[in-house]
Amino acid sequence: MSNNDFDTLIIGSGLAGFTLALHLAPYKKVCIVTKQTADSGASSWAQGGIAAALSTNDSPAKHVHDTLVAGAGLCDEEVTRYVAENAANAIYWLINQGVIFTSDRTSETGYHLTKEGGHSMRRIIHSGDATGKAVQQALIQKIRNHPNIAVLEHHIAIDLITSDKLSGYTDLKQKRCFGAYILDKKKDKVLTFTAQNTVLATGGASKVYLYTTNPDTATGDGIAMGWRAGCQIANMEFIQFHPTCLYHPHAKSFLISEAVRGEGGLLKLPNGERFMPHHDPRAELAPRDIVARAIDFEMKKRGLDCVYLDISHKPAGFLKEHFPTIHSRCLELGIDITQEPIPVVPAAHYTCGGVVTDKQGKTNLANLYAIGETAHTGLHGANRLASNSLLECLVLAQAAGNDIVNQPANGLPQLPDWDESRVTDADEEIVIAHNWDELRRFMWNYVGIVRTTKRLQRAQHRIALLHEEINEYYTNFRVSSDLLELRNLVDSADLIVRSAMLRHESRGLHYSKDYPDTLPVAHNTILKRDI
C-alpha cells in the first residue's frame, strides 16, 4: 500500500470521527483527515453536556419520550430507542477514556446532572460548561498515541471517488466509494486517498448563515460531497437556531448554554419583563424551536437588537462553579452575569438533516458511511432535543465501527490522480469572499427562523446564480480551501432551500407563514440526485 492507502478514511475530526477511530484502531489502519487542527471542530465548542438516563428515577423510555416530543412526529422510533438504550454505556466508555465529568457527592450517580429545555428529568452529564472541550481533549490524547491512527491536519477533502467515475471498472452491481481526493493545504497539492471504507464526519452546515454558534469549519462539506456522489439527503429544512447566542460586537459565535435556562435563567425584554410565559406554558424550558421563534417574534415586534437572559438572581458562587467559561468570557467583555443580564440573539446552531444512513451509519453508496451531524439517522426528527447531539456521535460511531470491522476486505482498483492539466492559478480570489458574504446574508434574511414561499424563491434564484459563478471558477482555476468551502456552502444552501420549498406545512424548526398549520401525517423530505 502507498502512504495514502488505508483501511478506513475518516473525513472530519469531531467526536463522531474520534470515537469511530478509537473503536476501529485495534483492527484497522485508520486515517483522520481534518481541514484545520484536530481540535478545531464544533464538538469542542459544545458547552451543555450529553443526555443519558443515568439515575434510578430516569429511564431510556423517558428519554425516548422527550426526544419524540421535541422531534414533532419525525423521529425514527427504532433509532431513538437504540440511541437512548445505549446512552449510559457510551458515557461509561468516555469515563474509561479519561473524561472527567462534574461530580456531585449528594447524587446517587456521583455526577451532577442538569436539566435542559425539552427534558422531563435531570439527565445531562457535563464537564462544567465546556463538555465538548473536555471530551475532545481526552480522546485526542488517545488518538495521537495510537500507532494505527494517522491524523492529517490542514487537509481538506474535495470529492469522493466512486465506481461510476472510473473508466474500465466492471463491477456495476452497486455503486461504491473507494476514497477521496484531498487537498494538502500547506503544500497546495491534491492527493489521492484509497480506502476500503470512507466515512463522512465533517459536522453540519450552519456557516451557511450570517449568524451562527458554530466554528468557521461548519461549511457542510460532508453533506455536499455526499450529495454530489449520489447520496440521498433528508430533512435539510430543519436548521436549529439556538435561542441564546451572546450579542456583542467583539464576541463571535459565543454560545450561552441551554443549561443556563435549565438552572433558572429567565428571558427578559429590555424593561425587565419576562415574555416566554406568553408563548409556551413551559416558558424558558420549552424546546429550542419555540424559544428561538419567541425571541425572533419579540425582536421584530419591538424593533430590538437583542433580548436578555438573566440568571443574576442565583448566588455568585453557584454561577462561577457551574458556568466558569460563560462567566469568564462575559466578564472579559464587561458583562458580569452575577450582577446583570446577558444580551442574546438566536443563531444557526445545528443541522438536523443530512446524508441518509441506517443505524450503522451506512449510506446508499457501498463502503461509504456518514456519522454525527453530517448524517440523518432519524434521531432528531424536526427538532433536535438538547444534548442529544454528542450522544448521537458516540452511539452511532460505535455502531458504525462494529459494522466496518465485520466488513470483508475487497480488492481496490487503481485510482486516477487528480487532473490539473487544464486549470490555471486564480486571478481574482476576492470573488470568493464576496460570494461567501452574499450567500450568508441572503440565507439569513430569506431562509431563517420564519420563512415564506416568496423569500425561498428569492434565495433559490440567487443560489442558482452563485452556482453558475462557482462552477465556472472551479472548472478553470486550481482549487483552494476557500473555494472548496464556498462550493460546499452553496450546495448545502441549495439543499436547505429545496427541502424547505417541498414542505407545505409548519413543523418543528421549519415555520412557514404561507403554511402555518401542521399536517396530520409527518413525512421526511428526501432528496435524490439524478446522475
pLDDT in tens, 436-484: 899 999 999 899 999 999 999 999 999 999 999 898 888 888 888 999 9
Q: How many other CB atoms sit within 10 Å of the CB of residue 384?
A: 28
Cell output for 410: 475487497
CATH classification at residue 281: 3.90.700.10
Q: Which residue has the higher pLDDT, 3 or 366?
A: 366
Q: What is the pLDDT of residue 529?
A: 84
Does 437 fall in a domain?
Answer: yes
Does 69 fall in a domain?
Answer: no
- 288 an active-site residue? yes
CA 319, 325, 328, 334 dihedral sign is negative
Average pLDDT over residues 252-279: 92
The rounded mean pLDDT for the chain is: 92
One-letter identity of residue 429: E
* Contacting residues for 74 by C-beta, under 8 A, at least 6 apart: 235, 378, 381, 382, 507, 508, 522, 524
**Number of compact structural domains in the chain:** 2
Average pLDDT over residues 210-217: 86
Q: What is the pLDDT of residue 283?
A: 95
- Cα distance between residue 519 and residue 154, in whole Å: 46
In a shared domain, residues 245 and 344: yes
Using one digit for the tens of pLDDT, what is the confidence trace for 335-378?
999 999 999 999 999 999 999 999 999 999 999 999 999 999 99
The CB-side HSE value for 6 (13 A sphere, CA atoms) comes to 28
CATH classification at residue 457: 1.20.58.100
Write the CA distances from 411 to 174, 195, 200, 359, 408, integer angstroms. Answer: 15, 10, 21, 26, 10
Cell output for 329: 468570557
Q: What is the pLDDT of residue 39?
A: 81
Q: What is the pLDDT of residue 1?
A: 39
- Cα distance between residue 304 and residue 307, in whole Å: 7
* Residues of the domain holding 489: 430-515
Phi and psi dihedrals of 312, rounded to 5? -70, -10
Does 126 fall in a domain?
Answer: no
Average pLDDT over residues 489-516: 97
Average pLDDT over residues 244-257: 87
pTM beyond 0.85, yes or no: yes
* Contacting residues for 474 by C-beta, under 8 A, at least 6 apart: 483, 487
Does 228 fall in a domain?
Answer: no
In a shared domain, residues 243 and 344: yes
End-to-end CA distance of the chain: 31
Residue 2 has pLDDT above 60, yes or no: no
Residue 266 has pLDDT above 90, yes or no: yes
In a shared domain, residues 244 and 343: yes
Last residue of one domain, picked from the residues 297, 331, 348:
348
Coil, helix or strand for 278? helix
Does 196 fall in a domain?
Answer: no
Range in 165-179, 196-210, 262-276, 332-346 the model is least confident about: 165-179
Return the closest-CA partner of residue 489 out of 477, 499, 481, 478: 481
Return the closest-CA partner of residue 201 out of 7, 396, 12: 12
Percentage of the chain with pLDDT > 70?
97
Does 460 fall in a domain?
Answer: yes
Average pLDDT over residues 184-204: 95
Confidence band (pLDDT; 50, 70, 90) for 86? very high
Q: Which residue has the higher pLDDT, 258 or 256?
A: 256
Residue 101 has pLDDT above 50, yes or no: yes
Does 314 fall in a domain?
Answer: yes
Last residue of one domain, picked from the residues 333, 348, 363:
348
Q: What is the pLDDT of residue 312?
A: 97
Does 157 fall in a domain?
Answer: no
Using one digit for the tens of pLDDT, what is the confidence trace for 416-444?
888 877 777 766 677 788 898 999 999 99
Catalytic residue among 122, 288, 293, 451: 288
- Cα distance between residue 433 and residue 417, in whole Å: 29
Last residue of one domain, picked from the residues 316, 348, 380:
348
